[in-house]
Structure 1
Amino acid sequence: MKMAVFRSRAWLSRAFSSLSSNPLRVCVVGSGPAGFYTAEKMLKANEKAEVDVLDRLPTPFGLVRSGVAPDHPETKIVINQFSRVAKNDRCMFFGNVNLGASVSLKELRDLYHVVVLAYGAESDRVLGVPGEDLKGIYSAREFVWWYNGHPDCRNLAPDLESTNTAVILGQGNVALDVARILLRPTAELATTDIASHALGALEKSSIRKVHLVGRRGPVQAACTAKELREILGLKDLYINIEDADLRKSPVDEEEMKSSRIQRRVYELLCKASTSRPMSPDADQRELHFVFFRKPDKFQESEKRNGHVAAVRFEKTTLKVDSGRQVAVGTGEYDDIECGLVLKSIGYKSVPVDGLPFDSHRGVVPNLRGRVLQATSGDHALLEGLYVCGWLKRGPTGIVATNLYCAEETVASIMEDLSQGPLASLSSLQKPGREGLLELLADRKVTVLPFSAWEKIDSEEKQRGGLKHKPRDKLSSWQELLKVGSE
């Protein structure tokens, strides 16, 4: 393997041929939707801008590649738009460059006029419930990365054969994605870009029953109607919702009046409840919506040491607090036996050295994308440093939400260039791309440009064609680096 892909003459020629005499050097860390939308908006907003997009993975596109469900190909079409951005003469993709390991934030700020952090949320919230470290308990993020071929979770190997029941904590879109992958016929998944190791495990899966558990009621379910409709429409799937859980309070009625999405979700759940048969057929898979429960304890198996066997839940009721209905415990408990638990309770961003971070909210303190020096009270800015995406606003929204988020951050950058702290800074010469390439070469970092991704892309599509699927993903670091570096 070549240790420095960036030494390619063709790439170096392109890297430097378009440089103006004094370009605005912009570095975007993270190549998911937030990163690429930021790069696109920046290139359009400033004709002197040279934008470099860094990612710790050898592959671009972030959660579009590793987070979007394999049976949602239409959502991935945005990759075509991002590819056009990456091929822009004033843009360069740096794959396999890890902020904090390959290069520090301070070094990037020294090299570039503007640094935009858009690396998202690559960790998980913790419940803090006894038994949370038992085997068989995973975050939904890990499970999603596993079936999408993310190299960090290639070897997750969840045991799907030793239990027939899974519990999913949470009722948002990610929770529904995970439930759908567990319950969907594998013959349908086989024609998607699901990772081969995951498809093989799902084909041997013994799971026939999935419980989707939420702290609050059906009116407060966090999913969208589109996602809910899709899972309710799976063929030969038995749906169970307790009639008592569908009763609405006057406060629920008021909530639905002000939210068309909540109203539609509730209507779909009611329809699914009334149209179901009394009991499932012997060979049917089952999806149980369980409301008004919060996890109290993960119980260990008596037969499998260190492995989860059940979740103890405390029943909840809703009370209004600061204008919002919150779940409070009732002191009543019940158990759901299971051998697999997936926690879909939220992603969490990870801070890096030199970056202010609000650990409670899991975001970088910012003012319309401008990074603030402190988490509260102090509105002093860190000159030239910005955020976008989940790192800016928290892990919420859909792919397109990042478009508006990027527009706001780029608008702040342009304001600062014309009349703010960047007005004088932008006139200074910065090493930018050349300086970063030199630094990474000295550290013997294998940088994979966008042309390396195109090699990976071509290889995956070729392998996929042999299996009658759109692509067969390379899912190990070794494979990705080898193919990208050839």
Structure 2
Amino acid sequence: MSRKLRVAVVGGGPAGVYAADILTKSEVPSVDSVTVDIIDRDPTPFGLIRYGVAPDHPRIKEIIKALKRVMSNPDIRFFGNVNFGTDLKLEDLRQFYDAVIFATGARRDRDLQIPGIDLHGSFGAADFVYWYDGHPDVDRDWDFQPHATQVAVLGVGNVGLDVARILAKTADELLVTEIPDNVHAGLSRNATTDVHVFARRGPAQVKFTPMELRELSHSPNIDVIVHPEGFELDEGSMEALKAAKSQKLVVDVLQNYLAKEPTGAAHRIHIHFCQNPVEILGEDGKVVGLRTEVTELDGTGNVRGTGEFVDWPVQAVYRAIGYYSDNLVGLPFDSVSGVVPNDGGHVIDIDGTPLPGVYATGWIKRGPVGLIGHTKSDAAETVGMLVEDVDDLIAPEHPEREAFDRHLDSRGIAYTTWDGWEKLEAHEQMLGETHAHARERVKVVERDEMVRVSRS
């Protein structure tokens, strides 16, 4: 006997959208139709594509076009401005869905346990990214200090490069992007002239991509300076370069920067290798420096400390050492890895048994590693497990699609929909067209305004 399969996906970023796409295209035995509802705490879809990619990266945001095609499927619906944990809990979702896939990603900064991390002028990169990307839940102003001309960025992933590049660019260079007016005004107060990016290991171990690295030099106002100290390749490094063409391209770009003479540009991005941050130095509660320990490669691509320390006179520090997932209400959580415990798809309890009908995909499943493309194969693995479990899933009490809408209405939740997103997008494009500095769009920042436009 066939039946309809109803699945909720919590999280509207690429991980959630890919899972919905793969599931609705899957041939599921004993099921005559599959419908998916994507639920997200933001009023808008696309997660970190909207709120985690730097505004001067329009090429990366091309992925939104592919995600839009998925979301146009009538078997997939979007419910935004609905927060799992406060508006909904797992027991609520079980009333309406055969299964729930969690794809909530990783939204906050991983902690760095070194002295001085709580000083004024010490920031998490994720907070800064959400600010310049106009996330509705962060303050509208950023605490740029007028004396902070020298700034440190800890971490050599793509987020670290984004932060360094945004800090080093002039505010007016970003007027061609979708940044809101409050972000332009804030960046106009940014006094940074030198951004120092610190890598704990050598050039072969950095995590950014060749494209991101090349883009550092696209601004005429920025010189990229790679410092020779610590620019080492040991046996482990050479093996890494042989194993990954992209890593070799990164080292080639770094070597080109190393050989290049500075042009005298007003701003500089310095890249330092084999420097392990051990303390943020403070005075009167404010950042006045960064202390690093010089490291050396040990032959395997890892490093050991040398006992030699360097103090860098910086006035602000941004840590970009990775994202960390939120603990989801009613689900087990591995606080060390920052993930929901799982066996590759099933969420598993503390005793190792799978939670019936509960799955995970994306960064909440495997941690904040890999590029967007990895998310698709990850979603396929999770969906494959769900499909295998179909005959064992417990049918919901209220399987009709409209039942969930009625539930949200009864709770007084002002949810947004895909039609609402299209209204908001058209509104943002209109703001861009009519802005004093015309561009493709200007983001709406305030949550209430986003919801108002979406529900109008």
Task: Compute the TM-score of the two structures, normalised by the length of structure 1.
Answer: 0.87
Q: Partner of 1:88 in structure 2?
A: 73
Q: Once the 2 structures are TM-superposed, how far is the Cα of residue 332 of structure 1 from its aligned partner?
A: 1.6
Gaps of 5+ in 1: 1-20, 418-422
Q: Matched residues in 2 for 1:443 and 1:273: separation?
A: 59
Q: 1:167–1:341: 8 Å Cα contact kept in structure 2?
A: yes
Q: How does 1:269-308 map to 2 (within 5 A)?
A: 269-277=254-262, 281=264, 284-301=266-283, 305-308=284-287
Partner of 2:9: 28
Of 124, 128, 132, the residue aligned with 2:117 is 132
Match of 2:421, as an amino acid?
Answer: W
1:136 touches 1:308 (CA, 8 Å); kept in 2?
A: yes
Q: Report what 1:358 is aligned to.
A: 334
Alignment length (residue pairs): 449
Is 1:368 the counterpart of 2:341? The answer is no
Q: Which residue of 2 aligns with 1:389?
A: 362
Would the alpha carbon gap of residues 446 and 261 (structure 1) be closer, same or farther in structure 2, given more than 3 Å must change?
same
Matched, 1:473 2:454: no
Q: How does 1:4-403 map to 2 (within 5 A)?
A: 22-45=3-26, 46=28, 48-159=33-144, 161-277=146-262, 281=264, 284-301=266-283, 305-319=284-298, 325-374=301-350, 379-403=352-376
Gaps of 5+ in 2: none
1:122 to partner: Cα distance? 1.6
AA partner of residue 225 (structure 1): P
Per-residue deviation, 1:74? 2.0
Displacement of 1:347: 0.3
Q: Distance in 2 between matches of 1:361 and 1:156?
A: 32
* Deviations 1:402-458, CA, capped at 9 Å, x for gaps: 1111111111111222xxxxx143666543644433332232111111222222111
- What CA deviation, in whole Å up to 9, does each residue of 1:36-95 have, x standing for no partner? 111111111155111100001111110111111111112222223323333322221111
Paired residues of 1:113 and 1:430 also in contact (CA < 8 A): no
| SS of residue in 1 equivalent to 2:317 | strand
Task: Give the whole-Å Cα distance in 2 for the aligned partners of 1:233 and 1:123.
Answer: 29
* 1:425 corresponds to which of 382, 393, 399: 393
Partner secondary structure for residue 53 of structure 1: strand
Supply the AA of the counterpart residue of 1:130.
P
1:284-327 per-residue CA deviation (whole Å, 9 max, x = no partner) reads: 211111111122211223xxx3221111112222336xxx5333
Task: Report what 1:436 is aligned to.
Answer: 404
Q: Classify 1:97/1:361 alpha carbon distance in 2 versus 1 (closer, same or farther; 3 Å).
A: same
State the 1:22 CA deviation: 4.3
Matching residue within 437, 442, 445 for 2:413 = 445
- Identical residues among aligned pairs (%): 37
Asked if structure 2 preserves the Cα contact closer than 8 Å seen for 1:165 and 1:337, the reply is yes
Letter in 2 for 1:399: I
Q: Which residue of 2 aligns with 1:409?
A: 382
Distance 1:465 1:158 in 2: 30
Secondary structure in 1 aligned to 2:326?
A: coil
1:482 corresponding residue in structure 2? 452
Farther off after superposition, 24-33 or 469-478: 469-478
Instruction: Return the alpha-carbon distance in structure 2 between the equivalents of residues 22 and 132 of structure 1.
Output: 55
Deviations 1:179-204 (A, max 9, x none): 11122343331111123211222233
Q: Distance in 1 between matches of 2:453 and 2:363?
A: 31
Amino acid at match of 2:13: G
With over 3 angstroms needed to count, the CA separation of the structure-2 counterparts of 1:95 and 1:235, relative to structure 1, is: same
Structure 1 residues 432, 29: closer, same or farther in 2, change over 3 A? farther
Give the Cα separation in 2 of the matches to 1:225 and 1:477.
Answer: 35
1:61–1:310 distance in 2 versus 1, CA, 3 Å: same
Partners of 1:26 and 1:146 lie apart in 2 by 33
> Aligned partners of 1:247 and 1:325: how far apart in 2?
10
Contact 2:170–2:187 under 8 Å retained in 1: no
Do the aligned partners of 2:234 and 2:298 also contact (CA within 8 Å) in 1? no
8 Å Cα contact 2:97/2:395 also seen in 1: no
Query: In structure 1, how many angstroms separate the alpha carbons of the residues matched to 2:104 and 2:338?
Result: 13
**Contact 1:112/1:432 (8 A) holds in 2:** no
CA drift at 1:242: 2.5
- Secondary structure of the residue aligned to 1:469 is coil
How far apart, in 1, do the equivalents of 2:250 and 2:165 lie?
17
1:254 positional shift: 2.5
Q: 1:402 and 1:195 mapped to 2: Cα distance?
A: 29
Deviations 1:117-158 (A, max 9, x none): 001112221111111111211111111111111112243513
Query: Partners of 1:270 and 1:476 in 2: how far apart?
Result: 44
Contact 2:199 2:206 in 1 (8 A): yes
Give the 3 Å change call, closer, same or farther, for CA 466–241 of structure 1 in structure 2: same
Counterparts in 2 of 1:233 and 1:79: CA distance versus 1, 3 Å? closer
Contact 1:349 1:391 in 2 (8 A): yes
SS of the equivalent of 2:389 reads: helix
- Structure 2 counterpart of 1:420: none
Q: CA RMSD in A?
A: 2.0
Q: TM-score, normalised by structure 2?
A: 0.93
